[in-house]
Amino acid sequence: MNDSNKNTDLSAEEMERAYIESDSSYDGIFFLGVKSTGIFCKPSCPARKPLPKNVEYFSSAKEAVFAGYRPCKRCKPLEENGAAPEWVRQLLDIIEKDPSARYNDRFLRSVNIDPVRARRYFLKKYGMTFQAYCRGRRLGISFDQIKKGKGIDEVALGYGYDSHSGFRDAFFKTFGTSPGKSKSSDCIMAAWIESPLGPLLAAANKDGICLLEFSDRRMIDAQFAALRKYFKSPIVPGENNHIAQLKRELKKYFDRSLKEFTVPIIYPGSEFQQKVWNQLLKIPYGKTLSYEEMALNIGSPGAQRAVGHANGLNRIAIIIPCHRVINKGGGLGGYGGGLWRKLRLLEIEKEANNLFD
């Protein structure tokens, strides 16, 4: 997930409902990428509906293209109302037959298309020039191949680049990192995780999980901005070993068979935030503390409000259990994922304790 991020203003639940019901009123508002096929579609696509676990969402066709997806031939997500000029359809078909080729102005003239016309049309309709679209298709595929383990030399020369330096320059401009670092820990990988309380968005680098949030939380954009600030790494869709481990442990947590997470986590912040988050990690499973008690425990009596604010900025929900902090009188207090989720998390842990006991 690069800086443009695949998040939209819609919740994952709403987008899932829209594509399952083929709701055309959402066409152009978001696009869905189907991981199992490598294509992206409009919500109204009449094709067989993919499983939610195989879907990721994008707010624009440009984001889907640069994430490595190719447009669906059935719903034609690059065409307004399913129709585009014949010359555009022919051009897109040519590119999809060989996305690794270089399509310059000379090529456009050879197929009787004015390069200026192509540039203006793509810029107006898709938010990128024709050349940017072609580059996005090449780089998106290249990045996917590198993540799957192919060598940089093979990818660079196999996807339309005459030199390593040209490939590296183009790659860096798009993803904010060199291709060699893209398959290593210098990338933050981000993935969707389904849960009984709604989809979660997880992110991890080489050191561990650095983000776990419910996907409909309004602070998601701010949290991603914080990741970019602290780690200075591109955020791309994908999964590493930490995310795979997190998926397994979350399943056990929601099944009431896991009390303590062992997946590595990394959570940079201010000195005060670190104190609060470290104290959260000390709250026993199934127990709660008040904001006042938290303030006393970190040596800042009377700083309940500041503790509450730091709680709200916690980027790793559930694992760093900010849901275990409540008001002094026993009220739930606040929770970024919604109070109903906070209540349900506390209930899950209480139920699990009863089972273990």
CA distance 44 to 31: 10
CA distance 134 to 137: 5
Question: Can you read off the two tokens belonging to residue 142?
Answer: 């290249």
CA distance 140 to 40: 13
8 A C-beta contact, residue 280 and residue 266: no
Q: Which of 157, 155, 160 is nearest to 142 (CA)?
A: 155
> Cβ contacts of residue 176 below 8 Å, gap of 6+?
2, 3, 233, 234
Catalytic residue selected from 41, 45, 187, 322: 322
Q: At residue 85, what are phi and psi to the nearest 5 degrees? A: -55, 150
Tokens 């209930």 sit at which residue? 347
Question: Identity (one letter) of the amino acid at 305?
Answer: R
8 A C-beta contact, residue 187 and residue 246: no
* Cα 158 versus chain centre, distance: 28
- Dihedral angle computed from the Cα positions of residues 330, 262, 348 and 254, in that order, rounded to the nearest 10 degrees: 150
Helix (H) and strand (E) counts in the chain: 15, 10
Is 41 in the active site? no
Instruction: Give the helix ranges, DSSP H, for 209-319.
Output: 220-231, 241-254, 271-280, 291-297, 304-312
Q: 3-state DSSP call for residue 80?
A: helix
CA distance 110 to 105: 9
> Catalytic site residues?
322
